[in-house]
Amino acid sequence: MVLAATMGLGAPAAAEPDAKALFAEHCAECHAENRLGGVGPALIPETLGRMWGPKLEAVIADGRPATQMPAFAETLATDQIAAIARYLEEPLPETPRWSVEDAMATRELSAEYKPADAPVFTADPMNITLVVETGDHHVSVLDGDTFEVLNRFPTPFAVHGGPKFSPDGRYVFVMSRDGWVQKYDIWSLQIVGQVRAGLNSRNIAMSGDGKWLAVANYLPQTLTILSTEDLSVQKVIDVTGPDGTPSRVSAVYQAPPRESFVLALKDVPQVWEVFYGANPPQMGFAHDYRMEPPVKPEPFPVRKITVSDIMDDFFFDLDYEHLIGASRDGEHGIVLDMVIGQEVANLDLPGMPHLGSGITWPWHDTTVMATPHLKGNTISVIDMESWKTVKEIETLGPGFFMRSHSTSPYVWADVFFGPNKDKMHIIDKESLEIVKTLDPAPGKVVAHVEFTKDGEEALVSIWEDDGAVIVYDAKTLEEIKRLPMRKPSGKYNVWNKISFEAGTSH
């Protein structure tokens, strides 16, 4: 008997902590009983699996600095914390719905918001640059001439993708992975309001006329259309394949000359185009896709183009006639002619291209596009007329973001992953050679670049909790100053974004 107990044989097993009950007692008040979020973010694998930072157990035990998330190390035993963490990693029992009414019920318009008649600052409103600080979920509003922080406002939890500006550059919309979309008035330096457009979202796109914002969702599998005026929900479009299979929307892109949004679908080999203009095309498309025959004229009609493979990440040529997408195998790219709805070329793109960061520039007598690869030490440079690779530039590791400016002779490309994550390559646009590699913060992630309006300065993130934005002279490549920031990620200059500067992603 003694022996059996010592060896654990026949001894009563310690009761497993009841994770669901622990969650209900300690977490549900902020994160909601159904784990879809409340004051605190949603705690579902779709969101948690995509986030960087300490492990779940550590967050539960130690809390999150600069947030309302308390530390539970004193309240809960280690095995209870571990049980809650495993519970949060379990998928939800069923896909929740998120209707127009559900989304509308979350809409909050700030009672304090007073729209200014003119900018409340003397800085050039076209040279404002926003810095997303993911360390404590804020955005800093920078004067692009003096680099003074004009305002710093809190965002929803875990902003992802580029904020989108209204065509006049006055308003900006920021999206979080939890599906919240926030509207901010740059002239007034005030938050206008927010609405939860989805439960787990990917990115947003602004219509060319500035009236609509499209939100790509993973959960549920929908596209939500918001009015930019008052964040009201105009339509929720269910995204399904021909046999009814629901598909997550990987991303949504604006195609202003086509008066449409273009959707990358995660689970179905189709590309969708959602028209917002007054006269959407009704007929004359090629045979391999169909316009849904509307029973009565519907707003936001959908065109569905069947493609040979699931396409994940899109890049467009400057007149939005061609879409370049990464194939699911991560080995090549597909060029889709949006006018005829047909694939017209295959690109040699081994190494999982990150086309969303692609940029273009004139080169010799043609235009080239360049894209980094998430799984390869190269940057591919492709001729956009022949669709042939003109150069594979060898880098010190896989990169995430690239940037240039029409006034700059250089492309800036980070090395995001691996031992050289602290390096930033400077590539000559003419010779396609790396001419310098910056190493401004050894051992830290140095990533993402944005230029000022005139392209004179380049801003680079030290992507760490006690990080900084480094301002460089874009011609001499000398450092001008460092602005302390909390894990700064993307930076977005009003003018470069609203003028569709070719050296920036859209």
Question: Least CB distance from residue 505 to ligand DHE, whole Å?
Answer: 4
Cα 392 to the chain's mean position, in Å?
26
428-455 b/e (C-beta count within 10 Å ≥ 16 → b): ebeebebeeebebbeebbbbbbbbbbeb
- Looking at the Cβ atoms of 160 and 303, the one nearer to ligand DHE is 160
Residue 416: closest CA among 451, 452, 459, 376 = 376
- Looking at the Cβ atoms of 127 and 134, the one nearer to ligand DHE is 134
- Looking at the Cβ atoms of 185 and 313, the one nearer to ligand DHE is 313
3-state secondary structure of 106: coil
Question: Least CB distance from residue 203 to ligand DHE, whole Å?
Answer: 4
Question: Least CB distance from residue 401 to ligand DHE, whole Å?
Answer: 6
Cβ-Cβ contacts under 8 Å for 278 (sequence gap 6 or more): none
Q: Among all chains, which residue has been given the structure tokens 């076209």?
A: 126
3-state secondary structure of 497: helix
- Looking at the Cβ atoms of 377 and 461, the one nearer to ligand DHE is 461
Amino acid (1-letter code) at residue 98? W
Distance CA 197, CA 417 (A): 32
- Looking at the Cβ atoms of 313 and 343, the one nearer to ligand DHE is 313
Distance CA 337, CA 67 (A): 47
Q: Which two tokens stand for residue 214?
A: 């499209």
Question: Least CB distance from residue 474 to ligand DHE, whole Å?
Answer: 17
Question: Least CB distance from residue 178 to ligand DHE, whole Å?
Answer: 12
Residue 56 is classified by DSSP as H
3-state secondary structure of 143: strand
Amino acid (1-letter code) at residue 370? A
Question: Using CB atoms within 10 A of its CB, is residue 140 exposed (0-12), middle (13-18) or buried (19+)?
Answer: buried
Question: Least CB distance from residue 67 to ligand DHE, whole Å?
Answer: 16
- Looking at the Cβ atoms of 188 and 201, the one nearer to ligand DHE is 201
Question: Least CB distance from residue 204 to ligand DHE, whole Å?
Answer: 6
Distance CA 292, CA 298 (A): 10
- Looking at the Cβ atoms of 65 and 242, the one nearer to ligand DHE is 65
3-state secondary structure of 237: strand
φ/ψ (deg, to 5) at 189: 55, 45
Task: Kindly state the helix (H) or strand (E) to which residue 494 belongs, with its residue range.
Answer: helix 494-498
**Strand boundaries in 178-232, DSSP class E:** 180-185, 190-196, 200-206, 212-219, 222-227
Cβ-Cβ contacts under 8 Å for 420 (sequence gap 6 or more): 396, 397
Question: Least CB distance from residue 251 to ligand DHE, whole Å?
Answer: 4
- Looking at the Cβ atoms of 160 and 391, the one nearer to ligand DHE is 160
Question: Least CB distance from residue 163 to ligand DHE, whole Å?
Answer: 8
How many helices (H) and strands (E) are present in the chain, helices listed first?
8, 34
Question: Least CB distance from residue 356 to ligand DHE, whole Å?
Answer: 4
Distance CA 402, CA 406 (A): 14
Question: Least CB distance from residue 177 to ligand DHE, whole Å?
Answer: 7
Question: Least CB distance from residue 444 to ligand DHE, whole Å?
Answer: 14
- Looking at the Cβ atoms of 20 and 444, the one nearer to ligand DHE is 444
- Looking at the Cβ atoms of 50 and 388, the one nearer to ligand DHE is 50
Residue 95 is classified by DSSP as P
| Contact present, 344 and 324 (Cβ < 8 Å) | no
Distance CA 469, CA 461 (A): 5
- Looking at the Cβ atoms of 17 and 501, the one nearer to ligand DHE is 501
- Looking at the Cβ atoms of 467 and 490, the one nearer to ligand DHE is 490
Binding site for ligand DHE (CB under 6 A): 50, 134, 160-162, 203, 251, 313, 356, 400-401, 448, 489-490, 505
336 torsion bin: left (phi>0), alpha (psi -120 to 50), beta (else): beta
- Looking at the Cβ atoms of 23 and 171, the one nearer to ligand DHE is 171
Question: Least CB distance from residue 312 to ligand DHE, whole Å?
Answer: 7
